[in-house]
Amino acid sequence: MADDPQRNFRSAYYEKMGFRGVEEKKSLEILLKDNPLDLEKLSTFSQRFPLPSMYRIHVWKVLLGILPPHSDSHALVGGYRKEQYQDIKEALEVMRYINSSTPSTHVYLRMFQLENQVLPRCSETLPPDEENEDFLAVSRAMEEIVDDPVDCYWLIKCFITQFYTKFGDSVPHLPKSLEHYLSQEEPRLLTHLKNTGALLQLPYSLWFRRCFAGCLPECSLQRVWDKVISGSCKILVFVALEILLSYKIMLLGINRPEGMVNFLSNIPQENTDAIVTKAVELWQKYCGNPVHAV
C-alpha cells in the first residue's frame, strides 16, 4: 500500500508535539474529557509518555491539585486561585515587602513564605539562603515555561510543596543511588570520580534539590518535571547518570575535582534533549514499569 501523505504529516506533527502516535493523542484527549478526571490514569500516562506543550500546563495543574478532578469546577476554582494570588500580593505590598520593582521570582518567594507562615520581619530580611535559592531557581525555570503569573506562582508553590512532601526523605539518598547505577553502567568513571575526590563534590543541589532547574534548558527540563510531577523522583538520578555518561571522555580527562564540578554545573545546552531521552530509557531499564517509581 502506498504511503498516505496526510497520515505521514499527522504522525510527524504529533511526534514534534511530544506524541509518538495518533493513538496516544486520542488516549490523552479521552482522559481529559473524563469528569471527574482519573488522576491515577492521568499520572500513568504522564509517566509513560512525554506531555506535549498544548496539554502540559493543564495536566500539571490537575496533578498538583491546583485544579480539582471535576473539570466542571475548573473555571470557578481558577477564579479563586486568581483572587487568592491578588490578595497575598496586595498584603505584601501593604507591608512593604515588595513593590513594583521587585523581581517576580522574589515576589513568588515572599508569597510562598507568607502562606507558609515563615515570612521574616522586614528588619530581618537577609539575602536568600540555600533553601530560598533553590526556590528561586525553580521559579526562574517555571517562568520560562509558564506565561501567566498566577499559574506560574501556583505551579511553583505546589510543585515545590509536593516534591518535599512526597520525596523529602528520599532526596538525601539520591547521590548514593547515582553511585550505584554508575557502577553498573561505567565503573571506570566511578573509580575516577572517587580517586580525584570529585564524587562527593558533584553539583547535587543543582541536580536533585532544584530538579535540574538552572542546569537544563526549559525545553528539556519540562520533560523531566513531567515525570517528577506524576510521581517519580528517581528520574532525577538517571538524568544525572546520563549527564555523566554523555561527558565521560571529557570527565576522564579532568583530574581536579573543581574542574569537573565547574563543567557539570555549566553543561553545554545543545545536547540536553538527547540526554533526557536516554535518561528516560535508563529509568525504564532499571525501574521496569516506571509508573509511580520513587
Q: Which of 221, 225, 244 is nearest to 175 (CA)?
A: 244
| For residues 179-208, average pLDDT | 96
| Residue 251, pLDDT above cutoff 50 | yes
Domain boundary among 107, 134, 167: 167
Number of structural domains (the chain) is 3
Domain assignment present for residue 68? The answer is no
Cα separation of 176 and 208, whole Å?
A: 12
| Residue 253, pLDDT above cutoff 50 | yes
Cα separation of 11 and 268, whole Å?
A: 30
Res 52: pLDDT? 77
- pLDDT above 90 covers a percentage of the chain that reads 77
Domain boundary among 167, 197, 213: 167
* Residue 53 and residue 152 in one domain: no
CATH number where 209 lies: 1.10.472.80
Res 127: pLDDT? 67
* Residue-wise pLDDT tens digits, 124-140: 566 667 889 999 999 99
* Residue 29 and residue 9 in one domain: yes
Domain boundary among 146, 167, 188: 167
| For residues 147-161, average pLDDT | 97
* Residue 149 and residue 259 in one domain: no
* Residue 55 and residue 90 in one domain: no
pLDDT band, residue 40 (cuts 50/70/90): very high
Domain assignment present for residue 277? The answer is yes
* Ramachandran sector of residue 17 (left: φ over 0; alpha: ψ -120 to 50; beta: rest): alpha
Cα separation of 6 and 244, whole Å?
A: 41
Domain assignment present for residue 149? The answer is yes
* Residue 153 and residue 175 in one domain: no
The count of other CB atoms within 10 Å of the CB of residue 112 is: 20
CATH number where 121 lies: 1.10.8.680
| Residue 255, pLDDT above cutoff 90 | yes
* Residue 277 and residue 197 in one domain: yes
| For residues 163-185, average pLDDT | 96
| Residue 12, pLDDT above cutoff 90 | no
* Residue 32 and residue 12 in one domain: yes
- The distance in angstroms from the start CA to the end CA of the chain is 45
* Residue 140 and residue 174 in one domain: no
Res 122: pLDDT? 74
| For residues 165-191, average pLDDT | 97
Task: Name the residue range of residue 225's domain.
Answer: 168-294
| Residue 162, pLDDT above cutoff 70 | yes
Determine if the pTM surpasses 0.85: yes
pLDDT band, residue 17 (cuts 50/70/90): very low
CATH number where 48 lies: 1.10.10.750
| Residue 168, pLDDT above cutoff 50 | yes
* Residue 51 and residue 116 in one domain: no
* Residue 228 and residue 287 in one domain: yes
* Residue 267 and residue 205 in one domain: yes
* Residue 195 and residue 120 in one domain: no
* Residue-wise pLDDT tens digits, 54-104: 899 999 999 999 999 999 999 999 999 999 999 999 999 999 999 999 999
Domain assignment present for residue 287? The answer is yes
Cα separation of 215 and 210, whole Å?
A: 9
